[in-house]
Amino acid sequence: MAEPLRRSGARPGARAEQWAAWLLGLPAFLLMWAMLLGPALAVILLSFTDWSFGEAELRWHGLGNYLELWGDRVFWVSLRNTLIYVGVSVPATVALGLLAAILIEGAGRGRGLYRALYFLPVASTLLGMALVWEFMLHPRVGFVNQVVAALGFARRDWLNDPDLALLALAAIGVWQNLGLAMVLFMAGLQAIPADLYEALALDGADGAWERFRRITWPLLGPALVFVMAIMAIRSFQVFDTVAVLTEGGPQKSTEVLLYTMVQNGFTFLRSAYGAAITAVFLAFTLALTLAQTWLLERRAHYG
């Protein structure tokens, strides 16, 4: 009996271990289905109906909601604004987060204090902090305009200017996510072996730029992949600052996908149409994240 088992590569107890693994993973799978996969599937199915909140029956609508989306100017404006927001906030957050992580790691004292100060916006309630930013961006008495005026430039109404409102919200997003990017990059920096820097110093190339170019940047590849993906997802989910500070204005210049979805699904009670926007949002976010991760992983160096 031992010979057939040896030939087939099996061993006694292998099937029992497989069943044990499935049983141990079953609670996590059921929880993931109940919290993530199940609701996502329900939203996708709902998007093919014409159901509105409060109606007793569901009627099949096919691709009607998606055809309406195709001709909806507000949807395309919100998609464009979302892409601009992501395109501005993600690179700025990643670059500043990496810079902050390198500077704090190189600091001799007070690193714990700096980490806490940078991470404070991540732990703060954005709705409350949005009110602070509304005051800071006030056209007359706001701190930002006080600094602008002191530098000799004209004061601007940041949140009511169609050309500046979305950029102002992107700057708030960078401020909020900077601490998280910094912490993730610091974890990546601490995983780099110190003897690599010592070996580089022995070769006579101990400058800060050489250390970064030859060791830090190549070995931060896995951390960069993760940070870029997380920041892209968080940026696509922007909603709080839009709802509190601008409500999509002025002139739809700050309307983003999630805000359009909430407006249709919960304000106008067009639940199926809001579900269609949500399905497009999920598909777009997933596709962009997978493409970004694939492109970055091709350049990432895993030790």
pLDDT digits 0-9 by tens, 176-217? 999 999 999 998 888 888 888 778 777 776 777 888 888 888
Residues 90, 235 contacting (CB under 8 angstroms): yes
Residue 189's identity, in one-letter code, is L
Q: Which residues contact 296 (CB under 8 A, 6 or more apart)?
A: 221, 224, 225, 228
238-288 pLDDT, tens digit per residue, is 998 899 899 898 989 999 999 999 999 888 888 899 999 999 988 888 887
The pLDDT value recorded for residue 79 is: 92
The C-alpha atoms of residue 102 and residue 99 are separated, in whole angstroms, by 5
**Residue 115 pLDDT grade (very low, low, confident, very high; cuts 50, 70, 90):** confident
**Residue 90 pLDDT grade (very low, low, confident, very high; cuts 50, 70, 90):** very high
Domain boundaries, the chain: 12-46, 66-299
Average pLDDT over the chain, rounded to whole? Answer: 84
Task: Give the CATH class of 66-299.
Answer: mainly alpha
The C-alpha atoms of residue 255 and residue 245 are separated, in whole angstroms, by 11
Q: Which residues contact 129 (CB under 8 A, 6 or more apart)?
A: 121, 176
60 SS3 class: strand
Least confidently predicted of 56-70, 143-157, 173-187, 289-303: 289-303
CA 64, 76, 260, 250 dihedral sign is negative
The pLDDT value recorded for residue 297 is: 64
Distance of CA 94 to the CA centre of its chain: 11
The C-alpha atoms of residue 213 and residue 279 are separated, in whole angstroms, by 41
Residue, of 54 and 236, whose pLDDT is higher: 236
49 SS3 class: strand
Q: At what angle do helices 38-46 and 271-299 cross, to 10 degrees?
A: 130
